[in-house]
Amino acid sequence: MRLDDVDERIVALLGADARATFAEIGAAVGLSASAVKRRIDRLTASGVIRGFTVRLDPAAIGWGTEAYIELYCRARTSPTEIRAGLTGCAEVISACTVTGDADAVVHIRARDVGHLEETIERIGAQPFVVRTKSTLVLSRLVDQQVLPEPAPDMAPAGL
């Protein structure tokens, strides 16, 4: 789906404050509240907007330890099998299949190093995992949730 300039501004405003009202967004982009609602409904129905959420500070709620775990899996392990093995693990923030030596990278958060170790052991015990390699996050340098520039083939309509 192509986003026009107004759609991009609406998405950026929601990214900065998902609780902004249609009227507040409308005032910022020059549309009525009902026009903003229609656009947000369209962006949601088309999958551009996948949801509205709260961004928490994990350390403030006791989950201050963070790591990335590389998974090295047995031959012919499917992404579906990896996903199923990680589903239900509350510590998993995200997981991706990747290029390179590892088969997948898992982003996890834990209460402390002991909890991190338990989580790595639990993930490593999955039948498809041959070995793991962990990298502890010392500090988060960039953590942005903003709309990137559109890809060249997805330039706003009318350009």
Q: Where do the domains of the chain lie?
A: 5-54, 58-136
Q: Is the pTM of this model over 0.85?
A: no
- CA-CA distance, 48 to 18, in Å (whole number)? 14
Q: How many CB atoms within 10 Å of residue 2?
A: 12
List the chain pLDDT tens, one digit each, 159 residues: 788 999 999 998 998 889 999 999 999 999 999 999 999 999 999 999 998 888 888 889 999 999 999 999 999 999 999 999 999 999 999 999 999 999 999 999 999 999 999 999 999 999 999 999 999 999 989 887 665 555 555 545 544
Q: What count of residues does the chain have?
A: 159
User: Which amino acid type is present at position 58?
Assistant: P
Phi, psi of 85 (to 5 degrees): -70, -25
Whose tokens are 């790595």? That residue is 120
Q: How many CB atoms within 10 Å of residue 26?
A: 19
Per the structure block, which two tokens stand in for 30?
């020059």
Residue-level pLDDT at 55? 80
Candidate CATH numbers 2.60.40.1930, 3.40.920.10, 1.10.10.10, 1.20.1260.10; the one for domain 5-54: 1.10.10.10
Residue-level pLDDT at 5? 92
Candidate CATH numbers 3.40.50.970, 3.30.70.920, 3.40.50.300, 3.40.190.10; the one for domain 58-136: 3.30.70.920
